[in-house]
Amino acid sequence: MAVLPWLRRRTEVVESVPPLVAGLQAIAGKEHVLWRSDELRSYEYDGSIDVGHPDAVVLVGNRDEVVEVVKLARRFGKPIVPRGAGTGLSGGAVLSQGGIAVGFSRMRRILDIDVANQRATCEPGVVNLDLSKAAAPHGLYYAPDPSSQAACSLGGNVAENSGGAHCLAYGVTTNHVLGLEMVLSDGRVVSSGGAVADSPGYDLTGLAVGSEGTFAIVTKIVVRLMPVQERVRTLLALYDTVDAASATTSAIVAAGIIPAALEMMDGLTIEALRRAGHQGLPEDAQAVLLVELEGLQEGLDELVTQVEGICTQNGAREIRTAKNAEERDRLWKARKGALGALGQIKPNYYLQDGVIPRTRLIEVLRTVDEVSRKYDIPIANVFHAGDGNLHPCLVFDQRIPGDTQKVVAAGADILRKCVEVGGTLSGEHGVGLEKQAYMSWVFSEQDFDAMHRLKRAFDPDERLNPGKIFPTPDQVAAATKMWHDAAGT
């Protein structure tokens, strides 16, 4: 039987696999390498507004595969960017210069939970919340809890030095990471720290945490676990003004009380959450404080009474106490679902991450309101009030011409104010692509030189997550022009 001409032509078509992709497939298997344009779309962005285009994505299964991928990237002269769950908010995992994205969704094993010593050893793809769930039967948990806790990975947390609602009392990721196994840019494997409380030599673990994937690729993480507190009390204080809620924050800490968490949400955030179906939130409050207190059974009631008194003295019109675990979970579900709920206001958001002294909260939040009116952009405030880590969320519609430029310029105004009052650019989201142009506000040329030297000591060819953190003259010029254009000056 003769073969029809069109069928013959179709069967003769053989898909051409680029050499780089073929090399990655030989390392990790064809099914774990993505390279066609439709497969790469999900890896072109993270939780920020930045976009980049990888040449290929390889989903590694173990450390040895990471080593071989790094060596292959070196032979091809390609950048290589480690990527967690893609929940980052500064463009840290965006491949701004192309290259290979290394995904860790296959490396998500909890290798060991040492109950006696309160330690856990994990692969970088382990989801943050999954570690606490695994440790719960032993009366333990992992303290750092970003809002994306149910999705973000420990490797990503290490890269960005992530914080969370409970970092006020317990610290951020660097305070809980004890040791790391890392692959350097030439394929060598090094280990730092360990399960013991302290190690001699340079603190390479501390250097790597928060380095945003620019020093090495983490393949194993040793973390500290903490015992679950005997008792927890969660309060929701309602206010008619943001100023009153801000004053309460400073007053609580000034009284010598360090809550496990001290979070603020403003009226716009509350409105969005209510529209999204979250229950138990007030209809007309302009701000709420979510205060969580932990400790022993004895004495906790007295502490709760003291905090309630401070809230009332500073203008709280009502204080609600979660009566059981279900009510507490509902309050925290609202707090951690706040960003998603903002889609009820506008389809897109641009989230900032400035840090300020607590005593300047009122002043800076008034500036945020002024910026909102200046640019005609709704700004929702939902943030870690206790440690002054602001998260003004500029909601907008990127389909409207000029709106993206406006929110970037407005965000720059807010960050400038944070720096002016003695704060800094980021508390937990990192610099990535988002804040590069502003780094000279807080660092000198000598500072940059020292950091560049350190980067080159780890990565002399500068192939690990290149184009991040450090500003270039072109970026500064472009950011300045955008600001002037958006501000109309």
pLDDT digits (tens, 9 = 90+) for 215-249: 999 999 999 999 999 999 999 999 999 999 999 99
Across the chain, mean pLDDT equals 94
Establish whether domains 19-103 and 231-341 are of one fold. Answer: no
Mean pLDDT computed over 462-480: 85
Q: Are strands 177-183 and 217-224 parallel, antiparallel or unpaired?
A: antiparallel
C-alpha–C-alpha distance, residues 240 and 299, integer Å: 30
Distance separating alpha carbons of residues 215 and 183, to the nearest angstrom: 9
Helix (H/G/I), strand (E/B), else coil: 321 = strand
CA atoms of 67 and 126, how far apart (whole Å): 20
Task: Please write the tens of the pLDDT for every residue from 76-113.
Answer: 999 999 999 999 999 999 999 999 999 999 999 999 99
CATH (residue range 231-341):
3.30.70.2190
Q: Which tokens belong to 251?
A: 């007053």
Tell which CATH architecture fits domain 19-103.
2-Layer Sandwich (3.30)
Please state which CATH class domain 110-227 belongs to: alpha beta
Q: Confidence class of residue 197 from pLDDT cuts 50, 70 and 90?
A: confident
Q: Which residue has the tokens 């501390």?
A: 206
What is the structure's pLDDT at 187?
Answer: 97
Using the predicted structure, report yes or no on whether residue 52 has a pLDDT greater than 80: yes
Model pTM?
0.93
Find the distance separating the first CA and the last CA of the chain, reported in whole Å: 76
Model confidence at 14, pLDDT cuts 50, 70, 90, reads low
3-state helix, strand, coil in the chain (%, to 5): 40, 20, 40
| Predicted confidence (pLDDT) at residue 12 exceeds the cutoff of 50 | no
Angstrom distance (rounded) from CA 44 to CA 32: 17
Does residue 461 surpass a pLDDT of 80?
yes
CATH class of 346-487: alpha beta
Does 2 have pLDDT greater than 70?
Answer: no
Sequence spans of domains, the chain: 19-103, 110-227, 231-341, 346-487
